[in-house]
A and B are shown apart, each in its own frame.
Chain A
Amino acid sequence: MSDETLPDAIVVEHLSKAYGPKWVVRDLNLRVPTGCVYGFLGRNGAGKSTTIKMLTGMAPADAGRVTLLGQDVATLTPLVRSRIAYMAEGHPLYSWMTIGQIVQFTRPFYENWDQTLVDQILDHFELSRKQKCGRLSRGQQAQVSLALAMAPDPELLILDDPTLGLDTVVRRDFLEALIQLIQSRGRTIFFSSHVLGDVERVATRIGVMIDGVLRVDCPTETFRDSVRKVVLGFNGEPPDFPGCEGLVTWRRVGLELELVIVNWGPAQQAVVEALEPRWTDVMTLNLEDAFIEYTRGSKRSLPLFTRGTKRADSTVIERTA
């Protein structure tokens, strides 16, 4: 059976949640195809963790519906839940248990528990079964959580910021193990992260939440390729930008006008040229830069230092005098 004929692993319809008067998640609609590795992005407070909790049934939604592996999450049967792995943010484990004990505790809940895989993962990360979970580093806790999550051979993995707080080396090890497991088993993974490099390495599709609303839902490459940063240089005070199709945001930085535009093309170029700038830079961005430009809106951090900023990571694809 080809992937196109498989049902979506995650279907979210009109999902909303508010805390008091504030909407944390608003009318979220999302489909994650089976076999997809979906990176769920957003700034702090954008609603990622709340969404993930609603996906796993750990937080009730105010409105909307979530379907996991074809079953409504509100009435998820134990059998379907056993096919879904969930790694919560911070990898909570019982601190008084040893690694061996937590494996023994978790094992009876699953019929198809792969103890060999658990042993392989624990051995790969050089984790002793006698170590207490409370004395493990964050990275080791993540590794134990990964072993516990993978052992029942889940079809769907939901990971809430799995690499949060891990140092670069541990993060890389963790991701490589994750990639290996994904490739060998072809599972669906939905994960949130703040580390855009990780997302770029792993995710085939991304979603970007901004203030509780899903603004982007497309293949990773599409997002990276369609966001452009356009800088216009002027001799004097830059004019107001009149707006154009695909404009995400614009701002003045000294004698420059910075635009973030999705799907840069002749129509947008015509609007820019009408302002008669002294020069124009159109830059492609890597995922991290594209995400930052797309999500930070009109606010800029440390505006005092922006004039001297080098654009070392970006490629100048066009400059007009």
Chain B
Amino acid sequence: MRIALLSKELRECALYACLALLVQIHYLGAGMGLPLIPFLDAGRGFEIPFLANNNSGRETTFTMIVIVAAIAFGLHQSVWESWRQTALFLLHRPLPQSQIFLTKLAAGGLLLLGVSALPLLVYSLWAATPGTHASPFFWGMTDSWWRSVGIAVICYLGAFLTGIRPARWLGSRTWPLIASVVLALGLKYAPIWPALIYVGFAGLAAGLIGLIIDTAQRREYP
């Protein structure tokens, strides 16, 4: 039954995931000299992969894409279900509510990793392969990019919480998302030991998952 639910969730977000993946393939492919749509990446010339503060803006683009995808997944999985009233259908299935929501989050997490971590890994492996480009590479150079993946995960959970959280007006409803973005960005640029940043992301994610499960069990479904 969890497989059925997982597969439903993956299918429902497949369109957003495909779009995000295509954009990633284009921009990261361009970094490898193989843009999906060549004229959109013309004139950038050679760049050193993962070089901090380079002016190609590839990391910024990557971060923006994964944040937008994360918010789209989170809101779609939560708001859509309530809005179409299918939550009443789904939540009456004989599976504990917490497991239903954890399965939804697992599906969203998988998709998010698919459009962020997977392309990043491919790009990193390409950069780590000798002979692909005339510049140095060591894995520590990818650290900032992986932090962007952490931001995306937090934004996804924040968007999901915003979607299921009942509130009287949009301002108070969106605070989990706004707070998540702010906290995640703060963590990314925090002047602390890198490992602590990842621990921070993990702690933040665990807290948000706890809040999501708690809110889901307390709220009324329309």
Chain A residues proximal to chain B, CB less than 8 Å = 53, 56-60, 78-79, 81-82, 84, 86, 88, 90, 92-96, 104-110
Contacts and interface: CB of A to CB of B under 8 A. Distances in A.
Contact of B12 (A58, A96, A110): A96
A94 B85 contact: no
Given A58-B91, A90-B85, A108 B8 contact: no
14 contacts: A53-B221, A58-B92, A78-B94, A78-B96, A79-B94, A81-B94, A84-B92, A88-B85, A93-B86, A107-B4, A108-B3, A109-B1, A109-B93, A109-B95
B44 interface: no
A93 B95 contact: no
Contacts of B88: 56, 58, 86, 88, 92
B220 A58 contact: yes
Nearest to A92: B85
A59 B1 CA distance: 24
Interface in B65-89: 84-89
B83 to A, nearest CB: 10
Contact of B8 (A57, A60, A94): A94
A195 B93 CA distance: 28
Nearest to B92: A86
Would you list the 7 A-B pairs with minimal beta carbon distance, nearest first?
A82-B94, A78-B94, A88-B88, A92-B85, A59-B220, A81-B94, A108-B1
Interface string B169-182: 00000000000000
Contacts of B89: 88, 92-94
Interface of B: 1, 3-4, 8, 11-12, 84-89, 91-96, 218-221
B221 A58 contact: yes
Contacts of A95: 84
Contacts of B95: 78, 109
Given A88-B85, A88-B89, A105-B8, A60 B3 contact: no
A79 B96 CA distance: 10
Contacts of A106: 93
A95 B12 CA distance: 11
A96 B96 CA distance: 25
B85 to A, nearest CB: 4
A60 B220 contact: yes
A243 to B, nearest CB: 40
Contacts of B3: 108
Contact of A94 (B86, B96, B219, B221): B86
B86 A92 contact: yes
A56 B218 CA distance: 14
Residue with the highest number of chain B CB atoms closer than 10 Å, among A53, A88, A104: A88
Given A59-B220, A60-B218, 16 more contacts: A56-B92, A58-B88, A58-B92, A58-B220, A60-B220, A78-B96, A81-B92, A86-B88, A86-B92, A90-B85, A93-B86, A94-B86, A105-B4, A107-B4, A108-B1, A109-B95
A61 to B, nearest CB: 10
Contacts of B94: 78-79, 81-82, 109-110
A95 B3 CA distance: 20
Nearest to B99: A78
Contacts of B11: 96
Contacts of B4: 104-105, 107-109
A56 B159 CA distance: 27
A56 B221 CA distance: 11
Residue with the highest number of chain B CB atoms closer than 10 Å, among A86, A94, A107: A94
Contacts of B221: 53, 58-59
A92 B84 contact: yes
A157 to B, nearest CB: 12
A181 to B, nearest CB: 18
A168 B16 CA distance: 42
Residue with the highest number of chain B CB atoms closer than 10 Å, among A82, A96, A109, A110: A109
A110 to B, nearest CB: 7
A20 to B, nearest CB: 10
A81 B219 CA distance: 19
B12 to A, nearest CB: 7
Contacts of B8: 94, 105
Nearest to A133: B86
A86 B86 CA distance: 12
Contacts of A59: 220-221
A127 B194 CA distance: 59
B220 A53 contact: yes
